[in-house]
């Protein structure tokens, strides 16, 4: 074994050190490598970041926290925000001017300020540039990284080519598909959150290596122990009411109107149910107009403990979206002890056991989802299924995704 001083010298080396492929090394050699391999300097380029509330921003936060805890250094390149994230401090930040996204004012994109971004990357000297979003800022970072011959990984988190169908922009589907294919094929690696997404990208002609980086859930926050009777009283329900919960953006592609239609039909059948919707977005006003008698409870955005209480105080999670790359909210619901009613793909496909911890509906069977909403079992059965749901995600923490991401980045810079 090398001396302590020798190990320290190796740890402090710039990342010009190259290792043999793991498959060519004996076990003891691999163990030593784990001890001495250099820590990475990672430039993360993203147009969404907490305190913005969406699955991409929150997942990225967990990954950055995990990488930093492993000793890696993070630079964030992102649009400026009116409020700051107080639970993560990057080693360096490059903030560019922000612009609102048309028809989606809660989200923004970053102005591609070439000199500012190029100078920040030059100063930070990253081993790898990871591009989370494919917007103007991501495109700029791609060009800078290629010019400087830095390894590039990308993330595919939002099927924008599918979103466009729901915003009267169907004519953009093909151009966006072509752009995304070109973008990701110009990176060295694309990270996706599910095998379904990986297969979809391959079918659309993305030929660069694709790596599945799973998502996780904070079991300390999302737990059945957070059930709150005061919150249920606020919803106007009693112990005999089945509370159906949706959490997420209020946007056309989420097809929340399907949930409202199914719920109102159940009410007309004299069922004791209540639909609670947590979230905000451009479709909120239209959705509220579908419920003139105000039988649906719209809670707006909730975070932290209040969000955890909303999950745990409900009885079943309902999710009608068919354009997810993963669906973090499904994991949060299951960790909170809720059975899940969703389409059979992405996160639900990976974690829900049909008829045991929820119900999986064929993607083409929208009517089947409504029918299942109207034929839920008794509360006692729902709670038993919720216990099974929590058991099925007990190992789905954030440690594994962080390790997967770390290994994927090492794989890029070690070649």
pLDDT in tens, 206-238: 999 999 999 999 999 999 999 999 999 999 999
The lowest-confidence range among 39-48, 171-180, 214-223, 272-281 is 171-180
SS3 annotation, 43-55: EEECCCCCCCCCH
Beta strand pairing status for 151-155 and 189-192? parallel
pLDDT at position 186 over 50: yes
pLDDT at 5 (0 to 100): 42
pLDDT at position 387 over 60: yes
Which residues, 6+ apart, have CB-to-CB distance to 286 below 8 Å?
Answer: 257
pLDDT at 164 (0 to 100): 45
pLDDT in tens, 49-87: 999 988 899 999 999 999 999 999 999 999 998 888 889
pLDDT at 4 (0 to 100): 40
Predicted confidence band of residue 167 (pLDDT cuts 50, 70, 90): low
pLDDT at 18 (0 to 100): 40
Distance CA 345, CA 391 (A): 20
**Between residues 171 and 51, the one the model is more confident about:** 51
Q: Rounded mean pLDDT of 34-56?
A: 88
By C-alpha distance, which of 180, 92, 187, 162 is closest to 325? 162
Q: How many CA atoms lie within 13 A of 396 on its CB side?
A: 24
Predicted confidence band of residue 323 (pLDDT cuts 50, 70, 90): confident
pLDDT at 294 (0 to 100): 93
pLDDT at position 107 over 90: no
The lowest-confidence range among 71-75, 320-324, 359-363 is 320-324
10 Å CB burial of residue 207 (0-12, 13-18, 19+) is: exposed
10 Å CB burial of residue 42 (0-12, 13-18, 19+) is: buried
Q: What is the mean pLDDT of the chain?
A: 88
pLDDT at 168 (0 to 100): 53
pLDDT in tens, 234-262: 999 999 999 999 999 998 889 999 999 99
Share of the chain above pLDDT 90, in %: 74
Distance CA 124, CA 14 (A): 12
Distance CA 302, CA 312 (A): 13
pLDDT at 285 (0 to 100): 94
Q: Rounded mean pLDDT of 321-328?
A: 90
pLDDT at 373 (0 to 100): 95
pLDDT at 369 (0 to 100): 96
The b-or-e profile of 52-61 (16+ CB within 10 A means b, else e) is bbbbbbbbbb
Q: Which helix (H) or strand (E) holds 154?
A: strand 151-155
Which phi and psi (to 5°) does residue 333 adopt? -65, -45
């Amino acid at each position: 074994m090398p001396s302590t001083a020798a190990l320290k010298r190796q740890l402090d080396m710039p990342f010009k050190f190259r290792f043999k492929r793991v498959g060519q090394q004996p076990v003891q050699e691999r163990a030593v490598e784990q001890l001495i391999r250099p820590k990475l300097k990672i430039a993360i380029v993203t147009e969404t970041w907490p305190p913005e509330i969406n699955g991409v921003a929150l997942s990225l936060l967990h990954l950055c926290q995990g990488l930093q805890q492993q000793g890696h250094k993070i630079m964030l390149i992102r649009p400026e925000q009116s409020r700051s994230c107080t639970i993560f401090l990057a080693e360096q930040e490059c903030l560019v001017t922000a612009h609102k996204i048309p028809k989606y004012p809660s989200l923004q994109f970053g102005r591609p300020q070439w000199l500012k971004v190029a100078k920040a990357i030059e100063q930070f000297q990253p081993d790898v540039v990871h591009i989370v979003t494919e917007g103007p800022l991501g495109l700029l970072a791609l060009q800078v990284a290629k010019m400087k011959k830095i390894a590039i990984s990308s993330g595919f988190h939002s099927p924008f080519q599918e979103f466009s169908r729901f915003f009267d922009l169907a004519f953009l589907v093909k151009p966006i598909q072509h752009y995304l294919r070109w973008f990701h094929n110009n990176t060295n690696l694309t990270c996706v959150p599910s095998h379904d997404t990986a297969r979809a990208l391959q079918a659309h002609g993305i030929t660069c290596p694709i790596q599945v980086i799973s998502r996780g859930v904070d079991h300390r926050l999302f737990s059945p122990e957070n059930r709150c009777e005061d919150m249920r009283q606020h919803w106007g329900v009693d112990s005999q009411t089945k509370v159906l919960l949706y959490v997420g953006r209020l946007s056309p592609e989420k097809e929340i109107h399907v949930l409202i239609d199914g719920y109102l039909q159940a009410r007309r059948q004299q069922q004791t149910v209540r639909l609670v919707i947590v979230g905000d977005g451009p479709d909120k006003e239209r959705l509220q107009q579908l419920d003139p008698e105000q039988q649906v409870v719209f809670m707006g955005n909730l975070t932290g403990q209040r969000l955890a209480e909303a999950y745990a105080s409900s009885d079943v999670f309902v999710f009608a979206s068919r354009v997810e790359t993963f669906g973090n909210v499904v994991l949060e619901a299951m960790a909170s002890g809720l059975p899940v009613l969703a389409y059979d793909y992405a996160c639900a496909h990976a974690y829900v056991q049909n008829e045991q911890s929820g119900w999986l509906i064929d993607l083409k069977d929208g009517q089947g989802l409504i029918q299942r909403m109207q034929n839920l079992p008794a509360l006692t059965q729902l709670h038993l299924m919720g216990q099974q749901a929590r058991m099925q995600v007990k190992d789905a923490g954030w440690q594994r995704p962080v390790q997967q991401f770390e290994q994927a980045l090492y794989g890029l810079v070690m070649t």
